[in-house]
Each structure stands twice: as structure tokens, then as C-alpha cells.
């Protein structure tokens, strides 16, 4: 795929998956794979030389920050990072005012924080492309990465791929993967307790997209039925960034039947089924939170067991690498090369 096939996205913001048509989304998937191949083969062309990018972080970040910085570097752009200690956004200066200032300095703005309204407001006032690096509601750069990763490992067209997201599905990953599956014509299953399923309006929007792409959309609270026949099993942490610690006991009680372990992977009935996780993952006692949970609840793993995370079915680090390539595609497509 040539870069010119995504020129219709020049100047566009990247806020949520539902802002894009299936054709536009497919072009981003193709561009991601093209740019990844160019880099691997030593023939990458810098399309963003002289461009300036602001990275605004109100939530901490490893993969998102590093992926944006390295993607910009590979493409010849310069970045300025604004973390909570170096930005007045929302505190001493309104989001709208911040947007209008940054839009005068930078060619594009990434935002990672809590409220979707904040990144929407930035996009409304900045006058330059704004990219959602994660909000409580949507995580579109991760979804693009996940779509590419599934295509790479499935070895078959998107419309033949089935995947399940298992766990707390009310927030960004549940929403984003649901709409991703709809956009790409996949068989997507959201597997979660009824109280932790996506909002009805998100499910309805995904079903509307699926009506045009041929995707199959399932929302269920039955783990066995939900994962049967899938090619990929996704999960995420059971307590999201910013949630209070006192929800752990309730969440563990609700989600223990949804833990991705060897038994759940066997229930797919597919020996080739792969495991995916957007990271970070609580699969062992290698984190402070993991050790706190172990001390209080006696658990050595939460949403995924270590044998699955470290086992042959896991593609989590291929997935993590693809954050770089998917974010690079978003930058190149929206800044116009």
C-alpha cells in the first residue's frame, strides 16, 4: 500500500474508532504494515521532517509515550513532552485555551488522560490534528495495533478472525476492541459480567458498523461460550488507572471466573489460539501492586496467569512492538507526510 492511499486523513484528529469508516480504518492498518516493513528492511523514508509534536500526559505512560517519541524520531519530527508537573492544562489554564496556544506552536498534539471530553476539546480548538493516547473511554492507537497484530498472527483475512475480550469491558479496551472488530469485519465477542459490560450505546454503535462490514458482534457473561472457537483471547487489568484501591475485593470476586488461565485457553477449542494484553499485566509478583494483592488476597496472578502470559500462546510483546508502528501510521497519515 502506498502512503497516498491515506491522504484523505490529512489534518484529521484521531480520537475514537467510531470517527472512521471501515475503509479509512483499513487504510491505517495497511499503512501500519507498510511502515513496519519499511523499517525492518532499512528503507524507511522520513515523511515528518521539520514537524513539531506536543505529547501531553495527565496519566503515566510507558508504551504510549515511548512509541510516540520513537515514531516521531524515526520520521524526523521533534517532540516536546508535557507531563502533569510541566503543564497547566485544566488547572491554571482551561483545555480550550491550552489547545489554542499549543496549536500555534505545534503541528500535532497527543493527549493521554482521563476524560474523553478533554481530548475532544483539544481537537475542537487546536486547529491541528489531536491524537488520543488513552482516555477512560477509548484507546484507539492500541486498537489499531491490536488489529495489525491479529492479522499478522492469524495468517488469514480479517473477516475470518474471531477474538474475545475477557474481563472488565466498560472502559477503553472493551469499547475500542468492540468497535475495532466491527470496523474490520471480525467475529468479536465481549465476555464480561453483566455489570461490567460496555454501555448500550457503544454496543449499538458497534452493531451499526457491523451491519455494513459483516462483522459478528456478541456480548455475553458466559466465559466458555464467549471464547469457544476464537483465534485470540484479549484481557486487561481488573482495576483501571485512577480507580480507588478499595474496589479490588469486589472486582476480584466478580472477575475471578474470567481470569485467562490454561483452562480458559483450552475452552477456545483452538490449539493455535493466541493470548493478547495491552499491558501492564498482573501475571506474577514482579510489581508492587501484584505484591500488595498477594499480601491481601493470596493471589499470585490476576487477569492472566503467568503460565499463559509467558507461554507459547502469548504474543503480548509482538503486540507491544506494534504500538510503535501503528502510532507512526497515525502520525504519517494525519500530518500528511
Cα 148 to the chain's mean position, in Å? 11
* DSSP line for 66-79: HHHHHHHHHTT-EE
Q: What would the CATH number be for the domain defined by 142-321?
A: 3.40.50.1370
- pLDDT tens column, 193-230: 999 999 999 999 999 999 999 999 999 999 999 999 99
* Residue 132: strand, helix, or coil: strand
Q: What is the pLDDT of residue 3?
A: 39
Q: What is the mean pLDDT of residues 232-239?
A: 96
d(CA 89, CA 99): 9
The class of domain 3-138+323-335 in CATH terms is alpha beta
Q: What is the pLDDT of residue 91?
A: 67
Please state which of the ranges 28-32, 83-87, 203-207 shows the lowest mean pLDDT.
Answer: 83-87
242, pLDDT greater than 80: no
Confidence tier at 313 by pLDDT (50, 70, 90) = very high
Confidence tier at 8 by pLDDT (50, 70, 90) = confident
Q: Is 205 left (phi over 0), alpha (psi -120 to 50) or beta?
A: alpha
d(CA 62, CA 287): 15
Please state which of the ranges 24-28, 175-179, 248-252 shows the lowest mean pLDDT.
Answer: 248-252
Identify which has the larger pLDDT, 320 or 59. Answer: 320
The yes-or-no answer to whether 3-138+323-335 and 142-321 have a common fold is yes
90, pLDDT greater than 80: no
Closest alpha carbon to 165 in 260, 252, 253, 56:
260
- pLDDT tens column, 185-200: 999 999 999 999 999 9
- pLDDT tens column, 105-153: 999 999 999 999 999 999 999 999 999 999 999 999 999 999 999 999 9
19, pLDDT greater than 50: yes
308, pLDDT greater than 70: yes
Among 7-16, 260-269, 284-293, the range with the most confident prediction by mean pLDDT is 260-269
2, pLDDT greater than 60: no
Give the start-to-end residue ranges of the domains of the chain.
Answer: 3-138+323-335, 142-321
**Helix or strand run (H / E) with residue 277:** strand 274-277
Closest alpha carbon to 268 in 225, 307, 236, 308:
225
5, pLDDT greater than 60: no
d(CA 176, CA 319): 15
pTM for the whole thing?
A: 0.95
d(CA 110, CA 134): 9
Q: Is 178 left (phi over 0), alpha (psi -120 to 50) or beta?
A: alpha
The 3-state secondary structure of 155-208 reads: CCCHHHCEEEEECCCCCHHHHHHHHHHHHCCCEEEEECCHHHCCCHHHHHHHHH
| Number of CB atoms found within 10 A of residue 1's CB | 14
Grid coordinates belonging to 329? 501510521
Amino acid at each position: 500500500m502506498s502512503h497516498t492511499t491515506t491522504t484523505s486523513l490529512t489534518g484529521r484528529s484521531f480520537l475514537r474508532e467510531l470517527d472512521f469508516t471501515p475503509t479509512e480504518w483499513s487504510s491505517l492498518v495497511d499503512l501500519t504494515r507498510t511502515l513496519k516493513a519499511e523499517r525492518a528492511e532499512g528503507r524507511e523514508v522520513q515523511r515528518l521532517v521539520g514537524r513539531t509534536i506536543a505529547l501531553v500526559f495527565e496519566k503515566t505512560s510507558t508504551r504510549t509515550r515511548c512509541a510516540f517519541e520513537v515514531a516521531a524520531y524515526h520520521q524526523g519530527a521533534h517532540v516536546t513532552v508535557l507531563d502533569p508537573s510541566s503543564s497547566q492544562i485544566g488547572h491554571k489554564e482551561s483545555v480550550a485555551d491550552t489547545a489554542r496556544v499549543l496549536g500555534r506552536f505545534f503541528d500535532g498534539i497527543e493527549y493521554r488522560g482521563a476524560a474523553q471530553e478533554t481530548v475532544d476539546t483539544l481537537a475542537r480548538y487546536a486547529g491541528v490534528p489531536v491524537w488520543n493516547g488513552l482516555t477512560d473511554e477509548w484507546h484507539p492507537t492500541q486498537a489499531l495495533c491490536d488489529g495489525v497484530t491479529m492479522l499478522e498472527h492469524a495468517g488469514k483475512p480479517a473477516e475470518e478472525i474471531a477474538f474475545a475480550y475477557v474481563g472488565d469491558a466498560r472502559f477503553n479496551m472493551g469499547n475500542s476492541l468492540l468497535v475495532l472488530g466491527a470496523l474490520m469485519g471480525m467475529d468479536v465477542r465481549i465476555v464480561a459480567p453483566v455489570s461490567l459490560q460496555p454501555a448500550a450505546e457503544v454496543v449499538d454503535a458497534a452493531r451499526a458498523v457491523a451491519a455494513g462490514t459483516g462483522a459478528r458482534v456478541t456480548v455475553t457473561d458466559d466465559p466458555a461460550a464467549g471464547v469457544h472457537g476464537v483465534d485470540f483471547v484479549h484481557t486487561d487489568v481488573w482495576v483501571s488507572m485512577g480507580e480507588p484501591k478499595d474496589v479490588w475485593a469486589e472486582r476480584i470476586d466478580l472477575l475471578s471466573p474470567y481470569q485467562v488461565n490454561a483452562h480458559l485457553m483450552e475452552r477456545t477449542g483452538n490449539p493455535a489460539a493466541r493470548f493478547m494484553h495491552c499491558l501492564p499485566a498482573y501475571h506474577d509478583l514482579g510489581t508492587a501492586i501484584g505484591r500488595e494483592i498477594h499480601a491481601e488476597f493470596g493471589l499470585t496472578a490476576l487477569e492472566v496467569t503467568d503460565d499463559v502470559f509467558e507461554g507459547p500462546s502469548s504474543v503480548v510483546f509482538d503486540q507491544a512492538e506494534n504500538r510503535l508502528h501503528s502510532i507512526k501510521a497515525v502520525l504519517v497519515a494525519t500530518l500528511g507526510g
